[in-house]
Amino acid sequence: MAKRKKTEAAAVTPESQNVFGLRPMVVEQPVTETLEENYMPYAMSVIISRAIPEIDGFKPSHRKLLYMMYKMGLLTGGRTKSANIVGQTMRLNPHGDAAIYDTMVRLSRSHEALLTPFVDSKGNFGKVYSRDMAYAAPRYTEAKLSPICAELFRDIDKDAVDMVDNYDGTMKEPSLLPTTFPNVLVSANMGIAVGMASNICGFNLHEVCETAIALIRDPDHHIMTTLPAPDFPTGGEILVDGVEMETLYRTGRGGVRVRARWRFDEKERVIEIYEIPYSTTAEAIIDKVAELVKAGKLREISDMRDETDKNGLKLAIDVKRDTDPEKLMARLFRMTPLQDTFSCNFNILLAGTPKVCGVGEILDEWIAWRLQCVRRRVYFDLGKKKEKLHLLNGLKKILLDIDRAIAIIRQTERESDVVPNLMIGFGIDQIQAEFVAEIRLRNINREYILKRVEETEQLEKDIADLEDTVKSRRRLQNIIVEELRAVMKKYPAPRRSTISYAADEEMEPEEETVEDYPVHLFLSRGGYFKKITPLSLRMGGEQKYKEEDGPFQSFETSNSRELLIFTDRQQVYKTRAADFPDTKASQLGAYLPTVLGMDEGENVLCLVLPGDYSGELLLFFENGKCARLPMSVYATKTNRRRLTGAYSDKSPLRTVLPLTEEQPVAVYSTEGRALVFHSSLLAPKTSRSTQGVGVLTLKPKYRLDHAALLQDTPIQNLSRYRVRSLPAAGALLREEDRGEKQLSLLDETSKE
């Protein structure tokens, strides 16, 4: 025992003692317990009370600021100093005046961060598209609520939402704002919490309201028909890919590609950029362009400057003589933030729980929540009318024998006994008796009595109507629809961002001149592609193919020519012969689905040489229709790798025929029939999505098999199959018109 005490005493050194000479106490605690007790409450507070927006589209900081401005009378009154608003808001938001003013700046009209700004501002509030344009201090600026805020606070005094205590219990504030439109999708919102984040892009107010109405009327409504793409306050051009947008709308995660809008002044040789992506700034663009110019990668640019003024954003790029502005802008889009991707993460709080939702799910949740708000408002109105009816029913009993009531009051000695005596004398409750006792003597007349009786009858009708409304989901939905239509009419919101249905990705611009020489191109049925020089073809042996594969198309062309690869997923891949290495006949060649990065299960249908895009294409579909399109619909200003929505998806594509001049065409069906007609009978269309016109009349169990130019077919009895009007059924093929070789699914296109 003595030895242990001696050891313990020896362990106490001057370094281990505090100023009082006592040994410091060390308490062990598992790290999991520390996280649970200390870190988790902080994390949940950040998620629920700070960073993630709720179904009304606001974070707590937004909601507290707007509600305090509403309580200050700034919805209908004049502007007041921002410093005054900030000071008052600290009664609800204790996180400091700087954070409150930052919130006001983002919500302001002058800052241009929102499609529908909620703060009508005056003064310098900076710009969302500028990194260096600082906003003025709150003592210099003024603000009030925008008119659209009336839609945020409608019925807030009618128990539409829950009211909760503020942080010190001195006043009440709303837990949510009863917005009459889906602000959660209209207002862009970004927040970084602990372990999660939220990044919601804005959508056009008119389109969102229209979509909400359509979903109320038809829960199976296809959202993209009324809500084609997001909309950004800074404008720009949105490059829409149908598959990507569908994924974003379904899952709530994805990217929206946006690029700047520009114009070219031919006389001054200046490119003017007047709209930029929402996710970048003018300074970031200028810095990147300057870096590339110094590196010698943009020799066409002589100067770039920021000419932004009170009329809006403008970046000016001086270009050298003989510079093609289209090609220069294509390179700038690829190399600078002039084209950027807005990454979306639709993470919102639903009943206090963060959840990533698709657009449809968000609208469904908003409609359900709005139904609850409207129902609570109707209940409130119903309660008020019932209370008034209750008072009038008591008054009615009194007015039936007013002389008796007067006698009771006159015979009552003490004032405090008037109400109890009236209750006993007429069988009414205390509330009714209090109301009767307060009636002035001048109101005891016939006119007053008749008006009160009529009012009672109207109240009974109103109460019956409100009770029916509360029970009817359809009537509640009609109220929401009427309010949405009123918002659309009262607050017109033209779309700011234009929509372009463009490629998924762009080809790298070629820095060196492509060597041009004659080549032979071969495409197999399985999608293998070969590029062989004439010399190698003469010296080579038999063409090599995989088992069950074989020759499909062949061309004589040059190495610099462009190629269009049609697939069975309504897509066209644009490439060049020079992108493929020279090969030999004894090799399999390049497998196009892998080389071009096609989607899983996507197959090659055919290859077309567009030349200068001056010809036309005939697209034959399995349902017997044919679409005649100018080749120019597949020409693009930039060398895009993939074009989506290349043709109609209503029926599988069977044959693609290039057409350089009017000539006869033969069409075959699986029934063994053939039809010959002149191409001039087909009217050209301008939209790639056209379904075409009927050419071949088919019986239910048959389909169009393939088509070919008449000169490439073995048909001898031309008059048997020729028709002068479309559609037609054709005639059964004779033996001599079949030819020795069976035609493939897609006939070989004519050589260029």
- Please tell me the distance from the alpha carbon of residue 407 to that of residue 417, in angstroms, as a whole number: 13
User: Can 140 be counted among the known catalytic residues?
Assistant: yes
For the stretch 365-396, pLDDT in tens is 999 999 999 999 999 999 999 998 988 888 87
Q: First vs last Cα of the chain: how many Å apart?
A: 106
- Please tell me the distance from the alpha carbon of residue 437 to that of residue 428, in angstroms, as a whole number: 12
Q: Are 354 and 196 in contact (CB under 8 A)?
A: yes
For the stretch 80-134, pLDDT in tens is 999 999 999 999 998 889 999 999 999 999 999 999 999 999 999 999 999 888 9
CATH class, domain 52-179, is: alpha beta
> Are β-strands 625-630 and 571-576 bridged in parallel, bridged antiparallel, or unpaired?
unpaired
Neighbours of 571 (CB within 10 A): 22
What token pair was written down for 632? 């120019």
Tell me, what's the pLDDT at 752? 40
Which of the following CATH numbers is that of domain 261-337: 3.40.1390.30, 3.20.20.70, 3.30.1360.40, 1.20.1050.10? 3.30.1360.40
> Are β-strands 270-275 and 353-356 bridged in parallel, bridged antiparallel, or unpaired?
unpaired
Residues with pLDDT less than 50, the chain: 1-16, 504-505, 507-513, 741-752
Q: Which of 140, 249, 501, 634 is catalytic?
A: 140
- Please tell me the distance from the alpha carbon of residue 620 to that of residue 706, in angstroms, as a whole number: 7
Q: Are 599 and 560 in contact (CB under 8 A)?
A: no
Domains 261-337 and 365-490 share a fold: no
Architecture of domain 365-490 in this structure: Orthogonal Bundle (1.10)
731 to 673, 704, 725: CA distances (angstroms): 5, 13, 14
Tell me, what's the pLDDT at 509? 46
Tell me, what's the pLDDT at 747? 46
Tell me, what's the pLDDT at 458? 87
- What's this model's pTM, rounded to 2 decimal places? 0.65
- For residue 460, the number of C-alpha atoms closer than 13 Å in the C-beta half-sphere is 8
Q: Are 320 and 628 in contact (CB under 8 A)?
A: no
Regarding the domain delimited by 518-737, which CATH topology (the fold level of the hierarchy) does it fall under? Neuraminidase (2.120.10)
Q: Are 340 and 258 in contact (CB under 8 A)?
A: yes
Tell me, what's the pLDDT at 77? 86
Q: Are 752 and 555 in contact (CB under 8 A)?
A: yes
How far does Cα 171 stand from its chain's mean position? 38
- Please tell me the distance from the alpha carbon of residue 354 to that of residue 347, in angstroms, as a whole number: 6
Tell me, what's the pLDDT at 527? 92
- Coil, strand or helix: which one is 721? helix
> Are β-strands 616-621 and 625-630 bridged in parallel, bridged antiparallel, or unpaired?
antiparallel
Residue boundaries of the structural domains of the chain:
52-179, 261-337, 365-490, 518-737
